[in-house]
Homo-oligomer: A and B are copies of this chain.
Amino acid sequence: MTSPCQSSYPQHPSMTDTLYHSPFLKACRGEPTPYTPIWLMRQAGRYMEEYRQVRAKVSLLELCKTPDLAAEVTITAVERLGVDAAIIFSDILVLVEPMGVTLEFQKQRGPVLHTPLRSASDIRKLREVEVEEALGFVFEAIRQARAGLQPHIPLIGFAGAPFTIASYLVEGGASRNFEHTKTLMYQDPESWHALLSLISRTLVAYLNGQVKAGAQALQLFDSWVGCLSPSDYREFVLPHTRFVLERIIPGTPVIHFGTGTAALLELMREAGGSVIGVDYRVELDQAWKRLGAVGIQGNLDPCVLLADRKVIEARAKRVLDQAGGRPGHIFNLGHGILPTTPVDNVLALVDFVHTYQPRSA
């Protein structure tokens, strides 16, 4: 363990040599890989028959809270697809319940938080989260998934970023305009920062707990941060995301992901993360030019997987050529797989990414 690269990323107890040298973790560290590693956001999801069978028996939240089932769907997806990393099955909102907020997933509307936070006093009522006690089911799912995965497949833990979690807490669900979130932010910055500080403290313990349970890497999902201007991001978000990322157990690669972030990429990098996840709204070569020496994950439009194999290969080729075989590219979609995606199309994509030799950048 004397190479400079290894000393800057000391190995965690759960890390075996096989895992350490897997293409996914090499790419996270910016090291060359024999082929471009690929995994897909929501790879264990509704588009897959095996997943639907499990979901026929339990709700989404029950699945998240049942470690053996969460581990099962995590492992099944990797084995079915032949991707290079697993991501623990969970939802970014599992941490709002222990904060004292009721969470429900409705068929049409998605997540619904019945008591959205709209005032300073709403925010003051939130509880600090004891992650071992409240979110131990996630750690247990990670332990079981790690035990059940093939030894060369790294396991990714994840959480929602402070802004995205806050937007759900304040809006009470998904949103188009984020008007309650922004009104709180603009009108009462003190309460806003108190809310993001609370979430951030929770995230540090939650993400590190996932690493201790056996995750080899982490992804921080700031899925909705693209609704903000760069100056709002700098003032209201960056300090909190940086607080979280600076406190992750050293040596753990973190993928920092958002959508609609064409104007935010440099600021996201400033906030932290060893790999920046980008969506399809930016060209990968442009993103890399702007970001410099950092890993990049992305960025095929999930809608491409609804087209035929010829289109999928042509479009995957474009992404790979834009990455140009640079060390540090992790192939992924620009956002989660759509529920209507045919599994065969995903298999075709994985196969193509594993065999195509990109043009040099």
Contact = CB atoms under 8 A, between A and B. Distances in A.
B282 A229 contact: yes
A340 interface: yes
19 contacts: A177-B302, A177-B303, A177-B335, A179-B302, A183-B306, A186-B303, A186-B315, A187-B307, A229-B281, A229-B282, A229-B283, A230-B283, A230-B286, A231-B283, A232-B301, A260-B260, A260-B281, A263-B281, A263-B283
A58 interface: no
Given A182-B303, A302-B177, A338-B177, A281 B227 contact: yes
A63 to B, nearest CB: 23
Nearest to A183: B306
Contacts of A204: none
A184 to B, nearest CB: 10
Interface in A324-347: 335, 338, 340
A280 interface: yes
B263 A306 contact: no
A232 B304 CA distance: 12
A154 to B, nearest CB: 28
Interface in A277-307: 280-283, 286, 301-304, 306-307
Given A186-B307, A260-B281, A179 B229 contact: no
A340 B302 CA distance: 34
A62 interface: no
Interface of A: 177-179, 182-183, 186-187, 226-232, 260, 262-263, 280-283, 286, 301-304, 306-308, 311, 315, 318, 335, 338, 340
A178 B186 CA distance: 31
What 6 A-B pairs are tightest by C-beta distance, nearest first? A182-B303, A262-B262, A262-B263, A186-B307, A187-B307, A183-B306
A186 B280 CA distance: 14
A308 B340 contact: no
Nearest to A283: B230
Nearest to A322: B231
A308 to B, nearest CB: 6
A303 B231 contact: no
A199 to B, nearest CB: 20
Contacts of A306: 179, 182-183, 187
A38 to B, nearest CB: 19
A186 B311 contact: yes
A182 to B, nearest CB: 4
A231 B280 CA distance: 10
Contacts of A182: 301, 303-304, 306
A340 B179 contact: yes
A40 to B, nearest CB: 15
Given A182-B303, A338-B179, A226 B311 contact: no
